[in-house]
Chain A
Amino acid sequence: MADSPEAIKKSVKLYRFIGLLLFIFTGITVAVATIPALDFGGHGFDAYDAVIGLCIATFKASLVAVIFMHLNHEKKAIYWIFFGALFFGVALILLFALAFMDPITFDALLPKGVGE
């Protein structure tokens, strides 16, 4: 942990820069969702927009976690606690994949034309 006054002053500059980055990327998220010229994939909301939006959000969240929450220089115990929980958190989010393993509703979820 940066404890000397010089190191703190240096990290304050970093915090300011990260804050600016977060603002910029928030702007980008909104821009790709609302400006037609920046609409990836087909017209309107689709999988491309979902992936792009979530990637930007994940990047922003990582900045907050790594810099603001000091995960870039933390003690081992914290890594075990946080990443252990994150593993289960992500596993929970990905639970929906199990739905696709259900043979009864599987067909209904496939895109049209697949498996016919």
Chain B
Amino acid sequence: MEIPYIVNARKDTGLNNSKIAIWLFLASEVMLFGGLFSSYIFLRIYADYPWPERVLPVLPGLVNTFILIASSVTVVFAWASLKLRKWGAFKGYMSFTILCAAVFMVLKGFEYKAKLTHQSIQYNDWTNIEGHLHPEDHGHGGNFYVVNANEINFDLGSYYDPYLDEITARIGDKKATAAKDVVLNVFEDDKLIQKPLIKAGDVIDLEGDDETEGSLRYILAKAKQSFIETRMHNEQVRESAGRQSWKNVKSNEGGRFNAVRDLTQYDQAKKDAVNEENSLILEREDFGTIVANTSLFKIKVDNALIKIKPSWGRMSSPKEGEDTTISLLDKTAIVGVAGDSGMEIDVDAVDHRHLVMKARDRKYSQEKIDGMIEDWYANLGDSEGAAQIRKLWGAHKQWRSLFAAKLKEDYDLDEDDQPNRVPTDLDMYRITWKQMVAYKELDYNVTSLEEVKENEPGMIAGFTGANHKKFHDSFPLLNVARHDVKFESVFSPKMNNYYAIYFTITGLHGLHVIGGALVLAYYLFFGRKMYLANPEWLANRVEVGGLFWHFVDLVWIFAFPIFYLM
């Protein structure tokens, strides 16, 4: 059957199928993105943290805006070329459009990568530092809970193999022994047989798999099987005991509480069924008693240094030298003495705005807030990096007083003798990476705003944010003790709602770019046949693909100012 209105319009609507279909689809897209932008507004209104306004590097977003606008123009040129029957021009414009889509996605990739390798650490006093975390192979870098373990408790019901592999690899050559005797409960023909598996003090092979006798994985697998069987046995014992006691109640109370018998007065068949079931229980009365069992298997290790990713669990007391327990998500508990779980980070921003926000909520005076900030710097320690950060703060205080004076001079005072314009919290309480570079160049002595401006890196040097390659020396190295940390995260959706909605909207938009580019590429590479059959046919298709492409551009026209400029 021939499908009507593929090329030609229906008389009543004046539209062909694909045109009406794409507009229906765009209608649903309008509401989808409308909902997402609505979420953005909600999240921003109710944010209980300083909204990261104007923190994204503008240049990649700006370039991407230009690229999308240019591609919107060329896609409509491609359509016009088909209308004018110029196949060569169509190919040229369409290729450029697809190239634009590719460049857009590459830039997006650079942006995402910069975010996902950029770390933020929040101190217990709500001060935030941002920077690059040193990798694990770099001294005691990386982001780990470190413990000198002497006891590890596995939960037989829930231990997780990847965690187990990591733990045994970290224990390495250190000796591991069983902490207690382990006896397996085996039920053969409903009779309990107990088989010793391992004795306290026996050395455990950490490397063998679950078929190597005497290895940790073998013991855990066997003990888990026994644990499950024992539980099932106990369940059955409890169940039959429960049924028996209910039966006793039934006979002792003369049926007063017996809903079953009341029911069966009217239903002989049901009564028979209940009686039959009761007789089965009676036969199983000698089934056995509840068997003691444990869900845990504990090993002792000799002071093994174990590092665990923080996302795997929580550490009870992270202060170096204190007794601590790391509880993993699979209920494994690693007990020992806390090691140095600090993080080495090249700091490229210091931000006190969250601290200031919390302090203002508590109605603290400005003096007290300033004192709290000074305390943070005083408690950083004696390292070279800490000294550098203190110098940065000194320079920043000089800068912000110069800046406040300039705003006062430029915009004058209002009728109440208050300055019309004052530095924002962003100016006051955040040292940006560009300022860090400039302050270092000026040897931490700021005497004029122009000097700082001149020494700040330009848009190109900071294309996707702090440039650690070029300005490495400007960023102080800090060793952050774990017990000072309230929260740490890379700039991913985990960080806060701003980054969650940022990744949601830009990610969904990026998928639209890829999808649109694929459709347009199909017309470019496989459209020749359609063009030769009926040029108007391909023109209609390209118009429809173009409509989608313009919509993708349209979403970005809003996303760009909202995320990058507001």
> Which residues on A are within 8 Å of B, measured CB to CB?
3, 5, 8-9, 11-12, 15-16, 18-19, 22-23, 26, 29-30, 33-34, 42-45, 49-50, 53-54, 56-57, 60-61, 64-65, 68-69, 75-78, 81-82, 84-86, 88-96, 99, 109
Contacts and interface: CB of A to CB of B under 8 A. Distances in A.
Contact of B83 (A8, A19, A43, A84): A8
A12 B86 CA distance: 14
Contact of B73 (A19, A30, A42, A69): A19
B421 interface: yes
Given A29-B565, A33-B561, A92 B35 contact: yes
Which 5 A/B pairs are nearest by Cβ-Cβ distance? A89-B34, A85-B27, A44-B424, A19-B73, A33-B565
Given A75-B13, A96-B38, A89 B550 contact: no
Given A30-B58, A84-B27, A53 B77 contact: no
Nearest to B73: A19
Given A15-B77, A64-B553, A81 B27 contact: yes
Contact of B15 (A33, A77, A94, A95): A77
A2 B10 CA distance: 18
A3 B543 CA distance: 13
Nearest to A49: B566
Contacts of A11: 80
Contacts of A49: 565-566
Name the prevailing secondary structure of the A interface residues.
helix
A114 B479 CA distance: 46
B42 interface: yes
A115 to B, nearest CB: 17
B62 A99 contact: no
Interface stretch (B18-26, B160-168, B204-212, B244-252): B18-26
Contacts of B329: none
Contact of B80 (A15, A50, A94, A99): A15
Contacts of A91: 34
A10 B20 CA distance: 26
28 contacts: A15-B76, A15-B80, A23-B66, A23-B69, A29-B560, A33-B565, A34-B58, A43-B407, A43-B411, A44-B423, A45-B53, A49-B565, A53-B561, A56-B561, A64-B557, A68-B553, A69-B550, A77-B13, A77-B14, A78-B20, A81-B23, A82-B27, A84-B27, A85-B30, A86-B30, A88-B34, A90-B34, A91-B34
B547 interface: yes
Nearest to B70: A19
A75 B15 contact: yes
B31 interface: yes
A17 to B, nearest CB: 10
Interface of B: 13-15, 19-20, 23-24, 26-28, 30-31, 33-35, 37-38, 41-42, 45-46, 53-54, 58, 62, 65-66, 69-70, 72-73, 76-77, 80, 83-84, 407, 411, 420-424, 426-427, 546-547, 550-551, 553-554, 557-558, 560-562, 565-566
A10 B54 CA distance: 41
A15 B73 CA distance: 7
A46 to B, nearest CB: 9
Contacts of A42: 420-421
B45 A109 contact: yes
Contacts of A16: 73
Among A18, A75, A89, A90, which residue has the most Cβ atoms of chain B within 10 A? A89
Given A19-B70, A43-B407, A85-B28, A61 B554 contact: yes
B13 A8 contact: no
A109 B42 CA distance: 12
A95 B550 CA distance: 26
Contact of B423 (A43, A50, A56, A60): A43
A89 B28 CA distance: 9
B41 A96 contact: yes
Contacts of B38: 92-96
Nearest to A100: B45
A9 B359 CA distance: 64
Nearest to B407: A43
Contact of B566 (A50, A77, A88, A94): A50
Contacts of A15: 73, 76-77, 80
Contacts of B83: 3, 5, 8
A97 B240 CA distance: 60
Contacts of B422: 43
A45 B84 contact: no
Contacts of A96: 38, 41-42, 45
A26 B560 CA distance: 10
Contacts of B66: 23, 26
A27 to B, nearest CB: 9
A65 B30 CA distance: 12
A99 B561 contact: no
A43 B424 contact: yes
Given A53-B566, A64-B553, A77-B20, A8 B561 contact: no
A57 B45 contact: no
B354 to A, nearest CB: 17
Given A9-B84, A78-B23, A44 B550 contact: no
Nearest to B15: A75
Contacts of B24: 81
A61 B45 CA distance: 24
B550 A92 contact: no
Nearest to B403: A43
Contacts of B424: 43-45
Contact of B14 (A56, A75, A90): A75
A84 B30 CA distance: 10
A24 to B, nearest CB: 10
From A11, A43, A81, name the one whose CB has the most chain B CB atoms within 10 angstroms: A43
Given A42-B420, A64-B554, 4 more contacts: A23-B69, A30-B62, A45-B424, A82-B23
B86 to A, nearest CB: 10
A94 B72 CA distance: 28
A57 B77 contact: no
